[in-house]
Structure 1
Amino acid sequence: MLQCYNRGCGQTYDPNNNNDDSCCHHPGAPYFHDAYKGWSCCKKKSVDFTEFLNFKGCTRSKHSNVKPPEPEKSKDNVDVPPPAKEIRPPIKTEVMGRPDFNTPLTKINATVAPALKQAIDNLKAKTTGKDDGSSLKPGEIPVGTACKNRGCKYSYVDESSDYDECQYHPGVPIFHEGLKFWSCCQKKTTDFGTFMAQPGCAYGSHKWFKDDEEKVVQCRYDWHQTPSNVIVAIYAKMYHYELSSVQVNPIRLKVHLVFPEQDDSEFNLDLELRGIIKVDQTQVQMYGTKIEITMPKAEACSWAKLDFPRTKDVPKPKPDGKIVKNQQAADSSDSEFDLDDIENVSTGVRLTDIS
């Protein structure tokens, strides 16, 4: 008995009893693709390997004890050394020189959204015609001006009001764990009306004008980048599009926003940028809720951060000048003190003397 080597048959046969229809086999080759197993000669395929092996042949012929030839392997890469890798030198890019931080700034013309323009124009129309005190003489106080001292409820009537006594709170209001009180007198209460009605704890003169304090508005800003641009977004509402400005130079961004609803308070941002930008292609978009600044990169690189931190130059105080002076005064006072100068102090009559 001989072994049949036709694919898909696997039977033994008698050479003397080998007819043209004795062997049922697959004349094609097996293939495996996308988890499917099948034969190239018929359309039978399956994902199960056992089922694939049990597929009946699609062709009948005589049994054969000759093994089918194996597919020839490609001889292209046999005993052929791999090609030598060409090591190319690194590409040298020209590094741009960093300009000076104090390079003259260029003001960018902004594109204003219609919604923001209409809101600011309506605000200007409302303020037109109001008596804002501009017709008064310098130093003149409008009648009805409230005293600016905290806790004082007095209003200006005439010049005699300057001589009235002002009862006010020199401290600041504190709200902590439901309690409301002034830091100067510590009269605590949970009722807001009672807190506002508390009389002042100090006396002085009325103050008709606010102190000249710098009016600053805090605005949140963020940034992101693309392969070609750096975009900075400053989130602000009701800023004056004509009085606000954006100025840049190749490594600097300076933003100035004015808020007319908040007594012309200002927001200022001055940054030294990490990279170099193209000033002539910078764009500014002013929207109702933010201002967006698009700055094209002059170098094709990624920025790790938006800016370099800059520290303000603060004049250094004299090292321990006051402390040394006080220490010397204390030392001198101790050195000049003599224990013999202490006089006996009478403690009064003792109980033992009475008895």
Structure 2
Amino acid sequence: MPTCRHKGCSKEFELLSNAEDSCQFHPGVPVFHEGYKFWSCCKKKRLSFDDFMKEPGCSFGFHDDVPEIEKENSSETNAVSEYSEIAENVSNNQLQLDNLSLSNPSIPIKTSDFFPKPNTISTTSNTPKTNTPSEIEDDPEGLIVEVGSNCRRKGCTSKFISKEESSSETSPNSICTFHPGQPVFHEGSKGWSCCKRKVLEFDEFLKIKGCKKGKHLFSKPQLKNVHVVCKNDFYQTQDSVIVSIFAKKVIKDKSTVELNPKSEIDSANSSYKVLSTKVELILKKANNVNWPALNPTDKITTWTTFGKGDSPLPEVNKKTTGLYGINVVPNPRPELISLYKQTLEELQSKIPKHAVYRQATEALTAHRLSIVNKHEDVAAIEKELDAGQIEQVIIAAKDELSLIPKMAEWKPWEPLEETPVEGQWDYFKKAPVRE
């Protein structure tokens, strides 16, 4: 029977039963770019060459045993013209070098300083690296193979006929000629890592004869347990930590989640969910202490408090910025100073010129910045701030702008007009939370 020559098909067919939808093939050309392998007609990218070869066609039509006519002026012609242009440029540069006149002839220049001698080049540098496996897989004894099964070795197109014909050592059809290496695609050339032959056309690459002989391999590939590191992320509430492990198609029946009984987790009230794209862990905190990271070795850059506990960062003082408990993290960015001044000036311009009103506002600002409440002078407060605290000033100042309209309703200063600023805050912190 004739064999179809369409890309992605290569099946034997009968002329009488050849219909308009008998052949499933790729009308485009193979594309290899930055490690990806795909067909120009369907754009589904693969990393493995075997997966690329198994990609089903995206079009249907009649089987055809006539090979496609290659276009003239193919990439081989383009490559020749490209190399000719490079050679011409090299020769022109050599002529310019020969005609170069030295402005200081007393300084000798050796051409060996620019062009190494041929014998200085290591002979091993041009030798292609082989990626042959240490152990070649063979069919297990007693394997039952279906008639017509293809040999799985790279470069072999033989099919299983019978055990005596395809597996017996006395049969010439039992000899498998294959490539033990991996396909290599580099700058338009195509070849195998185990042999030196390189071609430009993909069809010619498929025709490269194997460089090693052995037995056919008809058994299906065995699934092996491979350790895969999955991406993860987490967020937390006051009493729980929710961890997302991004892993698609997790087999729920074969998956287990183990919790360390010595960790700060209430394992009895913790749970997990196996979803289609991830595994979600709901870890119940044993003491409502904040988690800066999942692992103690992770680099901690910020820290937001929800419940009990101080910042674990050694460089952060045990100070919080008031109602929301945002710790001050040093961030040496001097460019924030001008923004800090501008923000406070904007804040002061919107505060009514009422002495007690201003005292209450400054008391609130001072407390949220973890500065001693007696500092009423903005310049004095500025001297005690570093670049990291300045960044938090911006957040506090914006909050103050939204709190100022509410202060007229709360009037926290009225019962305590004669008390100092520090005492006024004791009453002001009992005011209702802003909407």
Which band: TM-score by shorter chain? 0.3 to 0.5
Scaled by the length of structure 2, the TM-score of the pair is 0.31
Q: Flag the structure with larger Rg.
A: 1
Q: Which has the higher helix share?
A: 2
Scaled by the length of structure 1, the TM-score of the pair is 0.37
Greater RCO, CA 8 A, separation 6+: 1
Q: Which has the higher strand share?
A: 1
